[in-house]
Amino acid sequence: MSERQTVDETSTSPAETNESGGEAPSEPIQVGSKQELDEVVESYDVVLTDFYADWCGPCKMIAPVVADLAAETDAAVAKVDVDANQQLAAEYGVRGVPTLVLFADGEAVEEVVGAQPREQLEALIEEYQ
């Protein structure tokens, strides 16, 4: 982990997650590379990925919601700092933050840009579980 990780200091790393494809972790997983994101997406059926920036006000507003979703749903939640991972963000077409990409069965299936209400994110996750 780099010194830049300031959004959620309780985040786990992909190495600390359950690699068996079982129960998703109850805390967001801080992702630092394409390989790490690929590992998370392969390890869990449904993954909500939050592309954020430390300086982004709306990102800070939804951070507690994203953390709650990790704790309260069966989806894994990954967090990608777009400033530290510009190439990864570009690969997923991230042009604004926050951008949330939902993966189901290893494929990106949904993308929402901007702060979204908790209910909308829950419904999105439930649609693919």
Could you say which of 41, 56, 63, 75 is catalytic? 56
Q: Identify the residue whose tokens are 């059926």.
A: 45
Could you say which of 31, 46, 53, 59 is catalytic? 59
Tell me which amino acid residue 68 is: D
Does 58 participate in catalysis according to the annotation? no
Q: What are the backbone angles phi and psi of residue 21, rounded to the nearest 5°?
A: 80, 15
Dihedral through CA 40, CA 8, CA 5, CA 14, nearest 10? -20
Q: Identify the residue whose tokens are 């209400």.
A: 117
Cβ atoms within 10 A of the Cβ of 110, count? Answer: 14
Q: What angle do CA 1, 86, 48 make, to 5 degrees?
A: 70
Does 86 participate in catalysis according to the annotation? no
Catalytic center residues: 56, 59
